[in-house]
C-alpha cells in the first residue's frame, strides 16, 4: 500500500508541474525521464540497497567526524556555558555552521571542491542533456548555498537562457548548503536522510525546472493541532519523509536572498529573476516533495 501511495504521489506531483508548465509541448522527455530515473535510482541505492546504505553511513560518519571536531572546539571555547541537556542554538549550532562554512570556503579557495562539482556537473550534463552551466550549478548546490553555488558559473549567469536561469534558481531553493545541513543534524534530524536528500534534490530540481519552464526551440544563451504533533509521536518512516520534504530553502525569505545574489552577478537579468521567483519556489517545493515521496516508497 505504501508503494501505491508513493507512486500516486509521484504521478500527482509530475501532473501538477506539467499543468503549470509555461509550454507543455516544449517539455523534453530526453531530460525529464533521466532526471526522474537518477532521483529514484539514488533514493533506492541509499535507502533500499544494503551496500548503498553502507556507503551512505560511511559518508554520514565522515560528516559526523567533522561535527565532532567542531563540537570539541566549542566545548573548549565555551566550557561551563554549555548545558548538560538540550541545545543552545547560539552556542552549539551556529558555531558549527560557521566552522563548516569556513571549511567549505577553504576547499573552494584551494580548488578541490570545484573538481568534484565539475565531475558531477559533467555527468548530469551528459545524462540529462542540460546545459553545462545549469548542470554544474545543480552539482554545486549539493555542497554550497543558493548564493555561493552560482559563483562557480558566475561568468555564464548573464548569458543563460530563461529556462537555464530558472534551473539555477530552483537548484538554490531545493537544496541546503552543507553548513546548514550540519546545523539541521545538530537539531535532531537524521544525518543519513539529510545527506541523501541533498544529493536527490540536484536531479529533482532540474526535473521540475525543465517541466515548469522548459527550453523553447528559439531559446538562445542569454488534521492534528500543531502543538500536539510531537516529533516523538511520528513513526520512523514519517520522520524520514518529513526530513526529505523539508530539506530545502523554498521560501520567500530565501527568494529575497536569491534575487540579491543572482541580481548582483547578472544585473541585466534582474527582471527575469524577479518574474521567475514564485515559480522557482513552486518547482523547488515539488522537487523536495518528490524526494520525500521516493523515500516513502523505499522505506515502506
Average pLDDT of the segment spanning 181-197: 85
pLDDT per position as a tens digit, 158-183: 889 999 999 999 999 998 877 788 78
Residue 103 in this model has a pLDDT that exceeds 90: no
With cut-offs at 50, 70 and 90, classify the pLDDT of residue 108. confident
pTM of the complete model beyond 0.85: no
The pLDDT of 128-148, averaged and rounded, is 88
The closest of 125, 134, 177, 139 to 157, measured between CA atoms, is 134
The pLDDT assigned to 211 comes to 96
* CA-closest candidate to residue 168, choices 178, 180, 182, 154: 154
Q: Do residues 207 and 41 lie in contact, with contact meaning Cβ atoms separated by under 8 Å?
A: no
Sign of CA dihedral 123, 196, 145, 64: negative
Least confident of 87-91, 93-97, 238-242: 87-91
Helix (H, G, I), strand (E, B) or coil at 141: coil
Residue 156 contacts residue 133 (beta carbons within 8 Å): yes
Nearest to 39 by CA among 178, 280, 201: 201
Closest to 114 (Cα-Cα) out of 145, 147, 146, 153: 153
Q: Where are the domains of the chain?
A: 2-65+109-216+231-298
Most confident of 18-22, 95-99, 221-225: 18-22
- In whole angstroms, what is the distance from residue 39 CA to residue 138 CA? 13
Determine the 3-state secondary structure of 179 from DSSP.
Answer: helix
Contact 30, 213 (CB under 8 A): no
Per-residue confidence band for 68, with pLDDT thresholds at 50, 70 and 90: confident
pLDDT for residue 221 is more than 80: no
Q: Are 66 and 103 in contact (CB under 8 A)?
A: yes
Q: 189: left (phi > 0), else alpha (psi -120 to 50), else beta?
A: beta
Provide the pLDDT confidence category of residue 120 given band limits of 50, 70 and 90: confident
In sequence order, the 6+-apart residues with CB closer than 8 A to the CB of 113 are: 104, 107, 143, 144
For residue 232, pLDDT beyond 70:
no
Going by the DSSP 8-state scheme, the letter that residue 143 receives in this structure is T
* Residue 11 CA from chain centroid, whole number: 21
CA distance linking residue 261 with residue 147, whole number of Å: 5
Task: Report d(CA 68, CA 71) in Å as an integer.
Answer: 5
Amino acid at each position: 500500500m505504501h508503494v501505491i501511495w508513493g507512486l500516486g504521489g509521484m504521478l500527482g506531483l509530475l501532473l501538477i508541474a506539467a499543468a503549470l508548465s509555461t509550454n507543455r509541448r516544449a517539455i523534453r522527455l530526453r531530460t525529464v525521464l533521466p532526471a526522474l530515473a537518477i532521483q529514484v535510482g539514488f533514493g533506492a541505492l541509499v535507502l533500499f540497497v544494503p551496500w548503498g546504505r553502507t556507503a551512505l553511513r560511511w559518508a554520514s560518519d565522515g560528516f559526523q567526524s567533522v561535527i565532532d571536531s567542531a563540537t570539541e572546539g566549542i566545548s573548549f571555547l565555551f566550557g561551563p556555558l554549555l548545558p548538560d541537556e538540550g541545545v543552545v542554538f547560539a552556542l552549539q549550532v551556529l558555531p558549527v555552521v560557521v566552522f563548516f562554512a569556513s571549511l567549505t570556503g577553504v576547499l573552494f579557495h584551494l580548488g578541490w571542491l570545484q573538481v568534484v562539482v565539475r565531475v558531477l556537473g559533467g555527468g548530469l550534463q551528459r545524462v540529462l542533456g542540460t546545459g553545462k552551466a545549469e548542470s554544474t550549478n545543480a552539482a554545486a548546490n549539493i555542497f554550497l548555498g543558493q548564493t555561493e553555488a552560482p559563483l562557480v558559473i558566475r561568468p555564464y549567469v548573464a548569458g543563460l537562457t530563461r529556462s537555464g536561469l530558472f534551473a539555477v534558481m530552483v537548484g538554490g531553493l531545493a537544496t541546503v548548503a552543507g553548513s546548514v545541513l550540519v546545523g539541521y543534524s545538530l537539531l535532531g534530524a537524521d544525518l543519513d536522510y539529510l545527506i541523501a536528500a541533498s544529493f536527490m534534490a540536484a536531479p529533482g530540481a532540474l526535473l521540475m525546472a525543465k517541466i515548469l519552464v522548459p527550453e523553447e526551440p528559439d531559446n538562445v544563451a542569454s488534521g492534528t493541532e500543531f502543538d500536539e504533533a510531537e516529533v516523538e509521536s511520528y513513526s520512523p518512516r514519517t520522520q524520514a519523509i518529513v526530513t526529505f520534504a523539508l530539506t530545502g530553502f523554498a521560501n520567500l525569505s530565501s527568494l529575497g536572498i536569491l534575487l540579491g545574489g543572482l541580481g548582483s552577478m547578472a544585473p541585466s537579468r534582474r527582471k527575469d529573476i524577479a518574474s521567475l521567483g514564485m515559480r522557482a519556489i513552486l518547482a523547488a517545493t515539488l522537487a523536495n516533495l518528490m524526494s520525500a515521496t521516493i523515500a516513502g516508497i523505499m522505506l515502506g
